[in-house]
Structure formats: C-alpha cells, structure tokens
Structure 1
C-alpha cells in the first residue's frame, strides 16, 4: 500500500480584469464615520468658545471683556485662594493614595476583598452627598460628632462644646482630600501592579526597612503614575463644585468654580464674559499641572513592567501591619461610613439636631420624596441619563478603540489625541463650551435632556476610551485576525468575536461612567433645571433652602440607586469574565514583558 502524498494547494484565482478594486468594508466606513462624529462633537464646542475668547465670533467685543475679567484683581484674588486650597489638598491626596496603593498592592497588610474596594468606594457616593454628610457630622452647633462629644462628657457632669467645625478652611481642605484620593489611587494602583519588584527586593536585601524602601525606591520609580495622578487630581480639584458650594460658601472661602457657576446662574442674562474669563484661569492651572507632569515623567524615574510583578513576595510589615490596616480602615470610615451614617440618621429625624431622638425616628421623609414630582423626575432622569450616557459612551468608545488600535491609518493617532482632549480641560470650561455651542441657534438645546446627555458623554468620554482600549488590547491579535483568515467581514468579527471578549472590560467601564454621570453636580449646576432636573441639582436646591432631613433622604436614595445599578453591572462583568475564561479562577502567570513603560505612553 503506497503512502499518501501531500499535494500543493491550487493557486488562488487571479483578480478580475479591468482593475477591479475590493469593495470597502462597511464596518470600517461606519467606524471612521463614528470617529469623525465623536471628534466633531468634542472639537466644535471648544472651537466655538475659542472664537469667543479670541474675538472671532459674531460679538468680537466679548473677547476684551473676557480678558479683562481674567486679569481683574478680584479674579486673581480668587485664583490665589483656589490655588492655596487645591494644590495642598492634591498633594496630601496623592500621598494618602500612594500609601493606600502600596499597602494594598505591595505589602502583607491587605484586608481581603476590602483592599480592592475601600480606596474607590467613595466614588459610589455622589460628591455632594459626601460633602453634606460631613456637614451633618461636623457642623458647629448641630453636628452629630459634636453632639456625641458633648453627650459623652455630659455623662461625667462636664459641659463642653463640640470641637468640630466643618465650615472652616481646614474643614473644606479635609473634604477636598477625601474627594481626590480615589482618582489618584486608580492611577497609582495600576503603577504599583506593573512595577518590577527587583529594585525593592534589592533594597530589602541591603537592609532597608519597608518605609525607607517605599520612600527611596518605590515612589521614585513611579514617575509616570505619580505624574498622571498629579494631573488628574489637579484637573478635578480645580473644577470641583459640589464640595466648595456646600462647605466653602459658609466657610467664606472663594473658589473659582463657584464664581463661574454664579456668573452663569445668578444673573440674567448670564455673565458669559466673566464665566469665560474665570474659565481661562482654570485652564491655565491645569496647563501648569500638565507641564509639571511632563517634567516629572521626563526626569528619569519611570515604572518598569517586569515579569515578576504578580509573583513577587509582598513586603512584610511586621508589627506595622496593624498600623497599615488601621490607616486603611480609618480612611474607609472618613470617606464612606461616617458620611453615609450621618445621612441615614438625619433622614430619619423629624428635624436635624445633634441630640438624636432615637425613640422618635420616622420614615416620613422617604415617603414624602416619592410624593414630590420634581424629586421623582430627578431620580428617574439621573438613572436614565446615567444609563444612556454610559451605554452610548461605551459603544462609541469600543468602536473608537477598534479603529485607533486595530488600524494602521495615519488618522488613528489624530482620533486618539482628540478623544483625550476633554481629560485635559476642566469640566466647567467644557460645560461652558457646550453652552456656547448648543444653547443658542441653530441648535436651541438649552434646558433639554439631550444637551445633558451630549455634554456628559463628551466630558467623560476619555474615561470610556481608556476602559474600552484596555479591553481591546487584552484580546490577542491572533483572535482579532482569526475572522479575516476565514473571510468573515469586519462587522461580523467585531460583533461575534471582539465584543464578547471585550464585554467584561466594557461593563466595568460602563459602571464607572454611570457613577460619574449619576452623581455629578458640576455639569448639572449649569445645564440642569426645573425642566430637566437630576438628583444633584435637586440636592443642591434642598440644601440651599435648608430642608435638611428630606435632603438627607434624597442623598441616601441616590447613593442606594447608584450602588444597586453599579453592583448589578459589576456582577454581570464578573459573570461574563468567568464565562469567557471557562469558569477558571486560577490566576495565570502573565508573559514576561521586556520593555519599560515609555514616558510618551503614559496618558491620562
């Protein structure tokens, strides 16, 4: 019996004569149209506001008013006060986030599952709810902590006044730090996970203690991550509105974000020139932070991705392990547990008082919320707008990630750069740009939910792109190219192969976007109103009118809704991830990368 022979496959059929060209793939055309639409949505408002500032619009006289407001003594004084608040708060937040990330990622002081959720748990609470929670805790006369302090000493017959006063510069500074820590932590924790432990192990072998190793070896090696975290906390800190309006107003601390919102909402017609002038100062501060970040990452220190990162032995802290865990728990109490407890207690009181009437608590304020049409509309709009923005943002971001990282076109870099612009511009400045571009003719979107969705999607689009890109690059190129080998169209390959594999990362990004949108007050303060209310807008309105127990009840309900929706989304992501990996929970050892992270690859 003769052995079988292998035959050379027949050559492929030649292309048809007449110079016939391959028809363009419909998905690629759609993808580039989506990229162009996203870039236009971002660039058009920014271009509109730039024309106003440079005097190229229909009202050229506004440019001189804008520059006059930006250079006025009052504006510069407010800028100085803002810098003295935000810069120290950002540095302290960066230090706290660094310690938390180091404890959770590099030491034996992790507290189980709490290590992963504790630093970012405050992001599930709307910033305005957290700030109001601390008002209920530390107001000078009716604060619950002051009441507990006075009641404790009253047991011994001593009459003392509570020592806490949130309506001071120090109180405002404290809450600012709590607001900024989670954003710095996200960047720094990723840096710690990617850091090669060889240098740290060498320092320990040389006799350096854990804290000395952290100070002299670990942190200097995290240049890109520290620089990125610095830029993030400065951008968010300078544009933060909810905390200064709740605490800073009564503390008599002037902040640029409050002045901008008041210029647009406290006068009719809105003082657009003043708002734009102050917005330029915000942009200047973020630009300075960006230059500092570039200088930091180019100074020589950088994080190296090493193959031993996930398999290295954690640093043993010995007796300091309990101190590190106590630090983590203390942060959790200050940032999450205590404010939520204060909101719940005040929401059950008939009137806000430091002496809690435990036997006379009531649910009437919760019942009253759902009898109020504006409140129910606000809750519904917050959930619907959050779901819409998160869904639209992640769908668009998935397509943009596919086109920018799955193509070799020269336009890929342009699209990627444009989609990162909103991350470098303060949120209030971007919101002003959308007002300038879409409120008047020909669009006339002022006071509509459409404008809210459009603005939120653009403002938070960089976060969506970062999550979608991470999910895309985690799908190996072999799987991405498998469809093309078998002649599957680009669109079908995207739907049937890429999206299912990217779904866990996309779902996590969806949850993050939903939290940002549903709990936002900054954009809502300028774009929401009685015709399109959202929860943050109504919470501020109740706070300004002094109806504190209903306000606390609304903050609790908003936090509960956000937590439920995000928990469902993250649960689906976890289920999808286990389904994709075949139910295996064993940690796989990653391949050993050989290249260091370039400073040009670090983006925010």
Structure 2
C-alpha cells in the first residue's frame, strides 16, 4: 500500500486540501462562516438543484434505454455482437469534450438536426441528457448485461413450470438477482453525471451549470476561491457518500443465484417478439450511438470551401490569432506521449494497489482498512478534476515539488483518473489466482519475485493489457484538470478542442471537429483491440 498511498497523498489529497484550505482561511483564521453564506446563496442552491436533477434524469433515461440492450447482449446471439459491444463502449472512454462536440454538430446551430428538421436542441437540457445517455449506455449494458448473461435461465423456467407468468417469474427470480447490479450501474451513472463537466461546458451554455462547472467558473473566471472551496467540499462529501453506498452494493453482489458461462445462456432470437426487441435495441444504438459519431466525422470534412480535408490540413499551421504557440497537430503527439506516460504510472500504482487489495481481512480491523483503502483509490473519479488541476498549480509550487512549469504535471493528473480503472480490471483476476500456486512455487525454492513472474504474471497478463488499454483511453481524454495545467506550447487534444470551440469562425469549428474525429478514431481502435483480448466472455465491466 505504501506507494499508492504516497502517490494519492502527494498528487490528490495534498493539492485538494491546499486549494480548499486557501479558500477557507483568511489572515490565519478559518472562515467557517463562509459555509453558511455560500450554501444559502440562491444562485448556489439553483446550481445544486440542477446538478442533482440532471443527474437523476440522466440516470433514469440511461436505465430506460439501456436495460433492454443489456438483456439483448446477455441473452441473444447474433452476427456482429462482439463488434457492436465494442462500439457501444466507445462513448464511455471518449473525452467529454468530444462528446459535446459530437452533439453540438448534431443538435446545435447549423447541425444535422437543424438542417434536416429545422430543430435545435443545444440550448435545451435535452442535449445534455442525451449526451449523458450516450456516454453511460455502456455502463448499464456491460455491468447489468455481464451479470445477466451468467444467470442460469433454468431457474426462471422452473418458476414458469410451477405456474408463474413470464412477468411474475422475471420479477420474483431474475430481478432480485439483478437488483444489486442495476443499483450499482445506476449509482455509477449518477456519479459520473453528477460531476459532469465537459458536456455541460460545451452544451450547457450560461443557463445550465453543474457544481463542477460552477467550481471552474468561480476558480478560473472570478477567482473566488472561498466559494469554490465550499462547493468542492460539498461535492466531495456527496461523492464520498455515493462511493460508500456503492461499496456496500458491490459486496451484496457477491451472493448471487447459480451462474453459468455466458456462452451457455445466449441463443439466437426466437419468435417475432424477440426479433422485434433486437431490432428496437439496434435502432436505439444506431440513433443514439452511431449517428452522433457519424455526424462528427462528417462535420470534420465539411470545410469553408465544401467537403474535403481542409480542416485536417489546417491543423498543421499556426494562425496569427492562435491560442497556442504551436501547430494544433502537435497536440496529437503531446496527447499520445502524455497518455502513454500516464498509463505506465497508473499500471505501477494501480497494480500495487490491486495486489494490496487482494488481502481478505473479513470484518475486522484489516478488513476495514482494506475497504477504506479501496474507497480512497476511487475518489479521483468523482472529485472535482477542476479542483485537482488548480490545486496542482497552488500546492506544487515549492521545492522539492515545484512542478508548475514541468510537463510531468499532465501525465500525473491523467494517471489519477487511470488508476481506478487499472484496479477494477486487475482486482478480480488477482483474487482468482489460487494462493496454493504461489505456495508451491515457494516450496520449490522460488523467491517471491520469481513466483510472481512465473505464476501470477502469466495468469493476469491479459487483464494487465486490458487495464493498460482502459487507462490509456481515459488518460487521453482527461480534460477537467488538464485544462488548467497544459501549457500553450504543449496542449493536449481535449484542451485544443475546447479552445477551438470557444473561438468564433468556421475554420476554428472545423479544426475542433477534425481533432475530435482523430480522438474518436484512437479511442475506437483501443476499444476494438481490448474487445479481442478481454479477460472474460460476459462483457462485464
């Protein structure tokens, strides 16, 4: 645990505590009265209400649209299933700025929807909700569907034989087994949408702001650190409560009905009803997932002089009014290098943390320590990335950690997001390794290092590759913290996309679409590769 705890202490807890402390302290005194002032401000209450409301609405819409998809992927076998599973996962790892760009191209001014039907949704909350469903569709499909594919269907059939109707059998047999998984998926979706930043930043406009966007506005635009600190504490408390509840939900999932390999439960659709269900799910996937991605690619080729590669060619030059001091194409190389370094850091830190978490301490002090350690490692997924990024600039400004001018700040911030994905991928596989294999190697004279290299590593190699792929994809798209710490001479792709979207001009918009398409291509390639080497056949996250 030593290295992971040190890493999170230095690059997560310390920067967050520094910016919160600076905001709540004045003349050496804690200004605790600010808590009441900020939390009773009508504008803040409106932001808090909208944050909770849009997260709840996004979660409900995601469950309504994705649960049928979870059933189809779990129970049906059809051509292209593996490819389609990878495709619906692409939005989950896409940078949120790219998601915002895709829906802006589809629903915004001059977008495909306005051209086809004369309708714009970018000024309404519907664009935000649809974008959130687009991102989180795979969370439900793979979390719930992964478990659903392993439930023994004969138990429900036995209930039917005993006289239960199809609905009653599903409600009394299958639903209780799925309930913890559905609850976990709903909580994850709520957590991600509660802390939404990039989507709101691009699609929300001045009318809609979540806590994360308001923290960014108070910090970057207004320099109101006290207000930002209070909002950070509020979001941190909410996220901590959600993660604690999620940990309890995960533990409940360990007691399930009898399970079967996914291959034994999937079959070809039978009858008009099942084919109609498959068709409706495929229609939702085409409209909700593929259409925004296709429109994004189409807009990337639609330049000032018509269709062509003008937007891509413009990425190689620096305009006179450029935000960056280098050509935008340099952001591609920067992002790939930063993401590769962040992946290496995440693998080392996350791998050690996952190994530490294989300790089974039961309900005693060791068990509580392990569960607390596990929850701590998940906090970066829900804590304000804006606070972390600005905290880097505030806290890491004195030797021996004077890193404000160092390029290493970016991969360190990205690794914070990648570590939880490494842990969640590696942990189940490490726990499945039979400890007697290590003991046998030790009896035969192998050192602990050699036992790990020759016993554990071959068993977890595929999980390690999958973990690296997920860490690379999410690091590539990190935006909330990077927007503060990326230097003008070394921007990342998400930061460059955001800057171009914030500037007027058709060419700037085209370049944003072109860079978004490149990011989408890299993430899609990564996900397709992971789908070929994933460690189980259920498709579960």
1:519 and 2:439 correspond: no
For 1:440, the equivalent position in structure 2 comes to 397
Q: d(CA) in 2 for partners of 1:447 and 1:305?
A: 55
For 2:208, the equivalent position in structure 1 comes to: 253
Residue 342 (structure 1) aligned to one of 295, 301, 323: 295
Is this contact kept in 2: 1:381–1:534, CA < 8 A?
Answer: yes
- Structure 1 distance, partners of 2:172, 2:269, is 17
Aligned partner of 2:137 among 178, 181, 184: 181
Q: Spell out, residue by residue over 1:431-490, the C-alpha distance to the aligned partner (whole angstroms, 9 max, x if none).
A: 524643634334333364322222222233222111111231233333333321211111
Counterpart of 1:551 (choices 504, 508, 512) is 512
SS at match of 1:510: helix
CA separation in 2, counterparts of 1:211 and 1:530?
59
Question: What runs of 5+ residues in structure 1 fail to find an aligned partner?
Answer: 1-31, 150-161, 352-356, 578-584, 589-603
Q: TM-score, normalising length from structure 2?
A: 0.84
Match of 1:195 in 2: 151
Q: Does 1:332 align with 2:285?
A: yes
1:532-576 deviation digits (Å, cap 9, x = unpaired): 4211111011001032111111111122233335545665x47xx
Q: Which residue of 1 aligns with 2:524?
A: 563
Q: Are residues 116 and 567 of structure 1, via their aligned partners in 2, closer, same or farther at CA, if it must alter by over 3 Å?
A: closer
Aligned length: 522
Q: Which residue of 2 aligns with 1:423?
A: 378
Match of 2:125 in 1: 169
Alpha-carbon contact 1:228-1:293 (below 8 Å) kept: yes
Q: SS at the partner of 1:441?
A: coil
Distance 1:317 1:206 in 2: 23
Residue aligning to 2:425: 467
**C-alpha distance in 2 between matches for 1:301 and 1:556:** 38
**Cα distance, 1:211–1:168 mapped onto 2, change above 3 Å:** farther
Cα deviations across residues 303-322 of structure 1 (Å, max 9, x unaligned)? 61514454346596621222
CA RMSD of aligned residues (A): 3.5
Residues 101-250 of structure 1 correspond to what in structure 2 (within 5 A)? 101-107=70-76, 112-139=81-108, 141-149=109-117, 162-206=118-162, 213-215=169-171, 217-249=173-205
Match of 1:17 in 2: none
| 2:496 aligned with 1:538 | yes
Matches within 5 A, 1:54-93: 59-65=28-34, 67-93=36-62
> Judging changes above 3 Å, is the alpha-carbon distance between structure 1 residues 560 and 112 closer, same or farther for their aligned structure 2 residues?
closer
- Does 1 or 2 have the higher relative contact order (CA < 8 Å, sep 6+)? 2
Change (3 A) 1:302 1:491: closer
Task: Report the Cα distance in structure 1 between the residues aligned to 2:382 and 2:105, rounded to whole angstroms.
Answer: 28
Contact 2:114 / 2:120 at 8 angstroms: preserved in 1? yes
Check if 1:322 corresponds to 2:279.
no
Counterpart residue number, 1:155: none
CA offset at residue 382 of structure 1? 1.4
- Preserved CA contact (<8 Å) 1:238 1:426: no
1:306 pairs with 218, 237, 258, which one?
Answer: 258
Instruction: Quote the Cα distance in structure 1 between the aligned partners of 2:515 and 2:51.
Output: 30
Deviation, structure 1 residue 343: 1.9
CA deviation vs aligned residue, 1:221-272 (integer Å, no higher than 9, x gap): 223212221221121111111111111116x2232221111222214xx322
- Conserved in 1, the CA contact under 8 Å of 2:74 and 2:146? no
Q: Are residue 380 (structure 1) and residue 333 (structure 2) matched? A: yes
